[in-house]
Amino acid sequence: IKNILIVTAVFLCFAALARPQYGFKWVEVKRKGIDILFALDTSKSMLAEDIKPNRLERAHYAILDFVRQLEGDRVGLMPFAGSAFLMCPLTLDYSAFEHSLSAVTADIIPQGGTDIATVINTAATTLNNAANHKILILITDGENLQGDAIEAAAKGAEKGLTIYTVGV
């Protein structure tokens, strides 16, 4: 009887470790995360080689380092120069985002210059959802040649957009 009890106890321990379950239960989870939109300056001045290899490539590396640390937040990509367009919509697919980022060059926007106001207005339109936090990370070498960026930033803030500027 002692041996049978020991074997039964060991068997029941393994059965408990297997966590047998009966049936299933559907649980609907509503999730609100952070929406992060990267606005990357692709003007010709980003090709300056004052940092190696150049400003644009260094910005690529910084964005990739940042995105690889995220878990579950949506990211998007908006290259800009004299105009802006949404190249990668907000997504949880980080590999698709990285693929879009690798395609960004200084020739992707045909209109030259740097128009920060346009990119802020376009980002505010893009980030018009009900996310908890809407963040625009503006990566540029800092020279605004067109538009009123201060006014556009104020209008974006009214819509709940948080803007961070990163100088390269």
Separation of alpha carbons 40 and 9, rounded Å? 63
Q: What does residue 161 show for φ and ψ, rounded to 5 degrees? A: -90, 130
Name the average pLDDT for the chain: 87
- Place 96 in a pLDDT band, splitting at 50, 70 and 90: very high
Strands (E), 7-113: 34-41, 74-80, 88-91
Beta-carbon neighbour count of residue 162 at 10 Å? 14
Residue 66 confidence (pLDDT):
93
Q: What global pTM score does this model have?
A: 0.76
Cis amide bond preceding 20, omega within 30: no
> In this predicted model, what pLDDT tens digit does every residue of 2-24 receive, in sequence order?
999 999 999 999 999 998 888 88
Report phi then psi at 27, rounded to 5.
Answer: -125, 120
Q: Which residues contact 100 (CB under 8 A, 6 or more apart)?
A: 77, 87, 88
Q: What is the pLDDT of residue 145?
A: 64
Q: Is residue 42 within 8 Å of residue 104, measured between CB atoms?
A: yes
Q: Tell me the C-alpha distance between 105 and 56, whole Å.
A: 8
